[in-house]
Structure 1
Amino acid sequence: MAKNPYTLLGVPKTATDAEIKSAYRKLAKLHHPDVNPGDAKAEEKFKEITAAYNLLSNPDLRASYDSGRVDASGQQQNPFAGGYRQANAQGGMDTGFGGFGGMGGDDMSDLFSSLFGMNMGAGGRTRTQHRRPAPPQQGEDLRYTLKMSLVDALTGGVKDLGKGLKVKFPKGIKDGQTVRLRGKGQPGVNGGPPGDARVKISVQPHKRLSRDGNNLWLDVPISLTEAMKGASLDLDLPTGKVSLKIPAGTNTGKRFRLKGKGVRAKDGTGDVIVTVQIVLTDGELAGASVLSSQLPDGENHDLRRNLI
């Protein structure tokens, strides 16, 4: 007794024509004899799913099956009414309804041509065509990580990755950005173009300089004398030279903003924010005893209030 065609194709009774055809295509590709040479079980499975598809792809047959007028093999339930099943006159594969009789020969030929690159012969036999050459495919991309200092990232330049690969990166490149080297990846397949090399930038931290967007933050040491008397400082930064005037009486932690002296980028130009830190020079340390004798004793300065 023939099996339930819906079960064979793995579709519900409410499946659309497109869903039935899609299910059959997947199963036919899996069980076709050309894919499984010498496998009797696969050939039998292929016959069953093809018979099921022939029944369900024919609107009249499907309606008759759903209403109980024919069984899963296409035979009428009334034994005196004659059946839909017929012998395959050309001797082709018997799939339940005259080989591929459930649908037009041209339709089935088109279906198998799209599945396997075949032409359907008489009675459902297949003739394997010469396969078309595989299409060209682009080669795989290669990925690298390039570590560089913050100064190098701000000034731009060229880095050698080895293997004949050199990376040119622009001024102000950010941590995490990727530079693409076209055509420097794996070679293409079947005449396809080569892939690319993608280089991810990893900017290493600097002990005094940091970046926040297009702004640069810089810690600048000054002597006690400069803090007390004031000074003019010339600073050579990766983004260019700047001048900073320190007023007399400046304390550690004082911040100064230098407008437009930060990173120049398409989305604008940042600033440089300088934080000064007082550091005693050797001469100041040598004269510390004389200096300390001039400082007031017992001053209630409470510098560590709200320390934590």
Structure 2
Amino acid sequence: MRDPYSILGVGRSASPEEIKKAYRKLAKELHPDRNPNNPRIEERFKEVSAAYDIVGDPEKRGKFDRGEIDAAGQPRAGGFGAGGFRRPGAGTGAGAGAGGFGGGFGQRGPFGGMGGGPEQSGEDFLDEIFGTMRKGPRGAGMGGGPGAGAGFGGARRGPVPERGADRHYTIEIGFVDSARGCKRRVTMPGGKQLDVAIPAGIGDGQPIRLKGQGEEGKLGGAAGDAIIEVKLLPHEFFARQGDDVHVELPITVDEAVLGAKIAVPTVDGMVAVSVPKGTSSGTTLRLKGRGMPRRDGQRGDQYIKLKIVLPEKPNAALEKLIEGWVKGNRYDVRARFTLD
């Protein structure tokens, strides 16, 4: 095994907090539950766990730094523990180690063993980071490596609590409700009902997470969450583009020619808007701050595309008026639409 300090990406003078921080970061990135079916990542995760098992424990780190154990936690040639293995004929005075085995053998070994063990092992750290993602008896999980087995007589722990599964629901709401915000009631399995607050400006397909409202956990584990997916129903004339609202609004011939003040629908209600004289079809007006609410407290805009609409039935008076007007006011709106 490589040097545990280099595996964790820290120097030999790193503080315990720096080592802990480096391990936490790597464990999150490499955990097999986040990288399923990736043997290379799994081996890297085991290597990181083994490295932390050495340098994350003050006693083992001291022995490693003094050369008493190797990177795998095994005693180096020359003895077990601080007392060393006594050579035949060596003295039996103080410090020689009773029976030839120093004080180190009584401590927790690299694979579980007797004695106290580290202040916070890699296994404890993984439980802290991933909670109940780790299934099965302590030491029988995905990490493998040091601490995985019973070692020198150390007993495995029992099953750990498991987090409950998430529940998924879909709520349909109208366009205006999505802009203003609303409440909807969800009926859960067993008949329990929840009132869900839909925030103003929510987008189509955006999820809402209700913590602890999913399946119950096992063995005292935390409950899962309820995840509500919001589906926006299409509107008759409003359309959304980002945080902006678009609407195509019909106007009459006289409103286009003479100008007018007309009522325009917005997600907040009707608003009076002035149509300039001589407005053509396709002219777009902007209502600033009348679009969808944003997370920063601001709002998008509303764009109104004007469309001139003639009467549904032919109008003789209008036709006669236009015929008289066009005789002295003919103009070409398609002059540029020619092929040379």
TM range (shorter): 0.5 to 0.7
| Corresponding residue of 1:111 | 112
The aligned runs of 1:119-268 (5 Å cut-off) are 120=152, 126=153, 129=155, 132-163=157-188, 164-206=193-235, 208-265=237-294, 266-268=296-298
Is contact 2:112–2:149 with CA below 8 Å preserved after alignment? no
Cα distance in structure 1, aligned partners of 2:74 and 2:259: 94
SS of match in other structure, 1:57? coil
- Confirm or deny: 8 A CA contact 2:208 2:229 kept in the other structure: yes
The equivalent of 1:296 in structure 2 is: 326
Structure 1 residue 154, shift from structure 2 partner? 0.9
- Distance change >3 Å, CA 254–CA 136, structure 1 → 2: same
Structure 1 unaligned runs (5+)? 1-10, 27-52, 63-81, 83-99, 121-125
Structure 2 gap ranges (5+)? 8-45, 51-70, 81-87, 89-100, 118-146
> Which structure's residues are more often strand, by fraction?
1
Deviation at 1:104, TM superposition (A): 2.0
Instruction: Rate the CA distance shift 1:58–1:253 in 2: closer, same or farther, 3 A.
Output: same
1:239–1:262 Cα contact (<8 Å) kept: no
User: Does the 8 Å CA contact 2:74/2:110 hold for their aligned counterparts?
Assistant: no
Does the 8 Å contact 2:263/2:271 carry over to 1?
yes
> Percentage identity across aligned positions?
28
* Kept in 2: contact 1:137–1:193 (CA 8 A): yes
| 4+ long deviations beyond 6 Å | none
Q: Distance in 2 between matches of 1:177 and 1:132?
A: 41
- Relative to structure 1, is the Cα distance of residues 135 and 54 closer, same or farther in structure 2, using a 3 angstrom cutoff? closer
Match of 2:307 in 1: 277
Secondary structure of 1:111 counterpart:
coil
Which residue identity is paired with 1:257?
R
Aligned residues between the structures: 227
1:60 matches 2:78: yes
Larger radius of gyration: 1
Q: What is the distance in 2 between the residues matched to 1:187 and 1:148? A: 29
Closer, same or farther in 2 for the Cα pair 1:139/1:304, shift >3 Å?
Answer: farther
Distance 2:323 2:77 in 1: 110
Alpha carbons of structure 1 residues 283 and 17: separation in structure 2 relative to 1, 3 Å: closer
Distance 1:177 1:293, change over 3 A: same
Q: Secondary structure at the match of 2:112?
A: helix
Calculate the TM-score normalised by the size of structure 1.
0.56
In 2, the alpha carbon distance for the partners of 1:256 and 1:161 equals 40
Contact 1:224–1:284 under 8 Å retained in 2: no
- Equivalent residue number for residue 37 of structure 1: none
Q: Deviations over 1:116-169 (max 9, x none)?
A: 68584xxxxx4x75x644343332223344443322211221234443454320
Residue 136 of structure 2: aligned partner: none
TM-score relative to the length of structure 2: 0.51
**1:229/1:302 CA distance change after superposition, 3 Å:** closer
Query: What SS does the aligned partner of 2:254 have?
Result: helix
